Amino acid sequence: SAVISQKPSRDICQRGTSLTIQCQVDSQVTMMFWYRQQPGQSLTLIATANQGSEATYESGFVIDKFPISRPNLTFSTLTVSNMSPEDSSIYLCSVEGAGGRHNEQFFGPGTRLTVL
Amino acid sequence: QKEVEQNSGPLSVPEGAIASLNCTYSDRVSQSFFWYRQYSGKSPELIMSIYSNGDKEDGRFTAQLNKASQYVSLLIRDSQPSDSATYLCAPEAYSGGYQKVTFGTGTKLQVIP
């Protein structure tokens, strides 16, 4: 499996501000995803980060609120814009296709975000 | 109806026993099925993948798949306290032209020493 890192690992932010989370993989991967996991709940897919094109967002998530970049096959960013306390959550990136393991997703360590 | 249903637990088993975790899913076109283990405060870790009906064994873990019944399970033999975690069932299907994994809410397993 791939080695996936996320920055920052945690942050405490004021409402109305924005935070950009970085996801770096140590090898090229076909797919990168961004998930949110709220306390005590399962994972919800925010969007699929597409290399060289706009991300594909799931129902309930919009580009203005969660802009995503994927400039190459090993890196992606998720920005949480104009934050409110309801955005407090763990944000996880995942990758698919690492090491030829098609279909299998591996997760980064996550970013714990608290919005005051 | 939830897309992926799991008993939230906690499921408590004594050390050395078999833990049985169950999952049903609603999307009939699901082709790939994954089990993730998530320790408290950590990210999910892939422990099993299964693609065909029947059983697949990997060490102490056995995944069972029955597509006709839309049912997938995970058995953990010789359960250890270190197996105490939340187990997420995750079927994958094509949706909107690409593969999408849907995660269940997870079953919390407690292995009692």
Q: What is the pLDDT of residues A55-81, one digit of tens each?
A: 999 999 999 999 999 999 999 999 999
Closest CA to B6 of A43, A16, A26: A43
Residue B19 token pair = 């833990």
Residue A55 token pair = 């991300």
Instruction: Cite the beta strand spans of chain B per DSSP E.
Output: 4-5, 11-14, 19-25, 32-38, 45-50, 54-58, 61-66, 71-76, 85-95, 98-101, 107-112
- Please give the pLDDT value at position B99: 76
- Angle at the Cα of B29 (from A61 to A93), degrees rounded to 5? 35
Of the ranges A110-114, B27-31, B105-109, which one carries the lowest mean pLDDT score?
A: B27-31
Diameter over CA atoms, chain B: 47
Q: Report the percentage of chain B scoring pLDDT > 70.
A: 96
Of the ranges B4-13, B17-26, B94-103, which one carries the lowest mean pLDDT score?
A: B94-103
Mean pLDDT of A7-18: 98
Average pLDDT, chain B: 92
- Please give the pLDDT value at position A8: 98
Cβ contact (<8 Å) for B98 and A56?
yes
Cβ contact (<8 Å) for B45 and A103?
no
Compare CB distances from A104 to B42, B49, B102 and report the shortest one's residue: B49
| Res. A85: pLDDT tops 80 | yes
Compare CB distances from A42 to B42, B96, B106 and report the shortest one's residue: B106
- Which residues of chain A have a CB within 8 Å of the CB of B33? none
Q: Which residues 44-73 on chain B approach chain A with CB closer than 8 angstroms?
A: 44-46, 49
Tell me, yes or no, if A50 comes closer than 8 A to chain B by beta carbon.
no
Average pLDDT, chain A: 93
Question: Measured between alpha carbons, how far is A4 from A1 in angstroms, rounded to an integer?
Answer: 9
Q: How confident is the model at residue A1 (pLDDT cuts 50, 70, 90)?
A: low
Residue A52 token pair = 């060289």
The distance from CA A82 to its chain's CA centroid, rounded to whole angstroms, is 17
A102: which residues sit within 8 A by CB, 6+ positions away?
Answer: A30, A96
- Please give the pLDDT value at position B8: 87
Cβ contact (<8 Å) for A103 and B100?
no
For an interface test with A, give the residue of B43, B47, B56, B94 to mutate (most A CBs within 10 A).
Answer: B43
Mean pLDDT of B77-84: 98
Tell me, yes or no, if A30 comes closer than 8 A to chain B by beta carbon.
no
Higher pLDDT, B93 or A68: A68
- Please give the pLDDT value at position A12: 98
- Please give the pLDDT value at position B93: 83
Distance from CA of A32 to the nearest CA of B (A): 12
Mean pLDDT of A41-52: 91
Tell me, yes or no, if A45 comes closer than 8 A to chain B by beta carbon.
yes
| DSSP letter string, B70-90 | TEEEEEESS--GGG-EEEEEE
